[in-house]
Structure 1
Amino acid sequence: MSLPAASLSARVGGLFASHFLGFGLFLPFFPLVLEDRGLTVAEIGYILSAGTIVRIAANPVMTGLSDHSGRRRLSIFAYSMAGAAFLGFFIFSSGMVTALIAVMGLMIFWSPIVPLSDAYALDVVRNHGADYGRMRLWGSVGFVVANVFGGWLAGMGNSQLIVMGTVLGVISTGFVAISLPRQGRDEDNGEPRQNQRPKLFWSPWFLGVLGVIGLLQGSHAAFYGFGTLFWLQAGISEFAIGLLWSIGVLAEIALFFVAGRLGLSFGPLT
């Protein structure tokens, strides 16, 4: 028996929230963790860029494996546990090389979770008429909570707590995902999905959109990697930095809240 749409939407919102709780600790404050371990700014840049490179390479492979198997929820669970294992390796190790291995391993398994969660949420939209924006905004709420909480943890001077909090977020994401009901035509029936080459990918305007998105992501990279360290050097407290990170996400929450209605009035290109 299927769950009422409202209840299922809330549970999918919980999936996004649990993931972004961990990500909201990792993204702003992991560079601070690396700095506390004695790594230079240049070494931090190498580690974060290596994580981005493997994320770009691994994402289509890992999501493709999940799509081929048709077991999206199980994939999120397995990837979450593997990511948590690499974070555990980081906690009990030291040095740049081990940090590099841990971050690269984490990114390989962590990066597919959002697109797989999005795909599951879109199945819920199709099957139950749920509002995607209303589900996804809980991820932004989780991110804001993590920003503020992470700033408080960083202010205590124990950056290891930030890593442990990230581990809890990663593990909880896996358990929330595996508890969700089946969705989609092929989800969890073990039948491989048909491998069709989408015509959309070869459309010139779609490739243009991908290029714009790539530029946007590139402009985010310096901010994500070094925003916290820059603000610390400017004399801003860790707690205030957490609040600064949350400001933009509050605007994102407002956008997700009305996104469903905006989509009725404007097309994707607009």
Structure 2
Amino acid sequence: MHIKNFTRLSNSYFWYFSVLGLAIPFLAIFLEGRGFNSLQMGEILAVFTATKIIGPTFWAFMADKTGKKLPFIQLGATLSLVCFSVLFFVDGYWPILTILALFSLFWTGMQPQMEVLTLGAMRKSTKFYARIRLWGSVGFIVFALASGEVIGYFGSDSFIAIGFVILVGLWLSTLWLNETNCRTSFVNVNSRIIHKFLTANFILFFISGLLFQLSFGPYYSFFALYLRDLTYPSYAVGMFVSLAVVAEIVIFIVAGRLFKRFDAKNLLVLSIAITAARWFIMAYFGDNGIMLAISQLAHAASFGLYHSASMQFIQNHFNPNQQNRAQAVYVSGMYGIGGAIGAYLAGVYWMDGLGAQQTFIYAGYVALFASIIAFLMSNKKAPM
């Protein structure tokens, strides 16, 4: 892979996942600072996540139809920046919900195109994909730590200013990208992909993944508030989240070796089962710093290993000209539907912190069930 392509793609991943480094730990802090209760926050976060159902699917269809990905990545970065900037000027439940939903609609639509652009540029090398993707984890860490300090000093509304800086960086990084060696030849976009979606193996993969993402509801929605209620200091949020992503980086570095020894199905089952244990640890031992650190290290499996194994499954299951649509279903179905339901249910059961432990226990059982479903998958590769 050419060094310029590697650098440009890594730069875009850095800024794209820096958004998550801000949003996952601190969006709930921002919303609470605007006076919303846990049920309202759960509703806003559910809508914010549900936009993944629409954006990635529509843009993937357009990318497959035109054979181009980069214009949609650049358009998404531009519209994301414009929408997020409106937060400087609005307040209230409905305006904030609407702006966050529009921002997420355009921002999440970028990811499937970035994944396919990257996979094409590196000629499907798991090793290079992992090394590029880890720069997204680096961006997450940098802004999780920095945002915690800035918000602690300037207050929850500084969330908007930090997000604006990140999105300017993302927009500039997309202008530097190119689509050399990443464009697939034009093929009829209706090329029998429905048969791939309706196979038993994909259905099991999809249901398991949807439940798996649902189980993240309390973590993605209320982790910062959970630590605050357990009397951890304000800087602990950034530290624990960063610890999780450091573990994720390690997995991305060694992922290539794991795929030489284990198939995607077994790695999916392992990663989901570890995640179930993670939620139980957070429920029963969240007030113990060492046990909480161990649960955060499990993020190596919860995200790094699971995501890499999912990419491997999708690459093996779908034809090259079907990759955009497959990535869109992966993001919109599992992360969109599963994440939205998880965020909403977390808001219902959280009860402003009174139901925190029980919510994480429920999440653990959901993840455990997801691992059983993944275990039922076949190891056989789908026919092309």
Residue 192 (structure 2) pairs with residue 197 (structure 1): yes
Cα deviation 1:183-204 (Å, max 9, x = unaligned):
34646xxx86520232432221
Moved over 4 A (4+): 127-130
With 61-70 and 73-82 compared, the bigger mean Cα shift is at: 61-70
Q: Secondary structure at the match of 2:264?
A: coil
Could you tell me which residue of structure 1 aligns to residue 108 of structure 2?
111
Q: What secondary structure sits across from 1:236 in the alignment?
A: coil
Question: Aligned pair 1:151/2:151, yes or no?
Answer: no
What is the distance in 2 between the residues matched to 1:48 and 1:127?
34
TM-superposed deviation, 1:128 = 8.6
Preserved CA contact (<8 Å) 1:79 1:110? yes
The one of 253, 256, 261 equivalent to 1:260 is 256
Corresponding residue for residue 54 of structure 1: 51
Deviation of 1:226 (Å): 1.0
Contact 1:143 1:246 in 2 (8 A): yes
Q: CA separation in 1, counterparts of 2:260 and 2:121?
A: 19
Equivalent residues of 2:126, 2:255 under 8 A apart: no
Structure-1 residue corresponding to 2:226: 230
1:55-100 alpha-carbon deviations (Å, 9 max, x no partner): 2233211222233223312211111111112211122111011011
Q: Whole-Å Cα distance in 2 between the matches of residues 149 and 180 of structure 1? A: 26
Alignment CA distance shift 1:144-1:129 (3 Å): closer
The separation in 1 between residues aligned to 2:205 and 2:162, in whole angstroms, is 35
CA distance in 2, matches of 1:117, 1:222: 28
Q: In angstroms, what is the RMSD of aligned CA positions?
A: 2.1
- TM-score w.r.t. structure 1 length? 0.90
Deviation of 1:22 after TM superposition, in Å, equals 2.0
Paired residue secondary structure (1:117):
helix
Higher relative contact order (CA closer than 8 Å, sequence separation 6+): 1
- Per the TM alignment, residue 28 of structure 1 is displaced from its structure 2 partner at its CA by 1.2
Q: Quick one: which of 196, 207, 217 aligns to 2:203?
A: 207
Look up the equivalent residue of 2:192 and give its one-letter code: R
Give 1:81's aligned residue: 78
Aligned residues: 264
Paired amino acid for 1:194: N
Give me the identity figure in percent.
24
Distance 1:68 1:184, change over 3 A: farther
Aligned-residue offset at 1:169: 1.8
Question: What does 1:4-23 align with in structure 2 at a 5 Å threshold?
Answer: 5-23=2-20
- Sort the Cα spacing of 1:113 and 1:242 in 2 relative to 1 into closer, same or farther, 3 A: same
Deviation at 1:148, TM superposition (A): 0.8
**Whole-angstrom CA distance in 1 between matches of 2:170 and 2:261:** 34
Q: CA deviation at 1:162?
A: 2.1
Please state how far the C-alpha of 1:256 moved relative to its aligned partner: 0.4
Deviates most, 95-104 or 177-186: 177-186
Q: Distance between the aligned counterparts of 1:127 and 1:178, measured in 2?
A: 23
Structure 2: which amino acid aligns with 1:172? G
For 2:186 and 2:92, how far apart are their aligned partners in 1? 42
CA contact (8 A) 1:83 1:107 kept: yes
CA offsets, 1:95-127, max 9 Å, x none? Answer: 011011011101111112222111111011118
**1:241 aligned to 237, 240, 247, which one?**
237
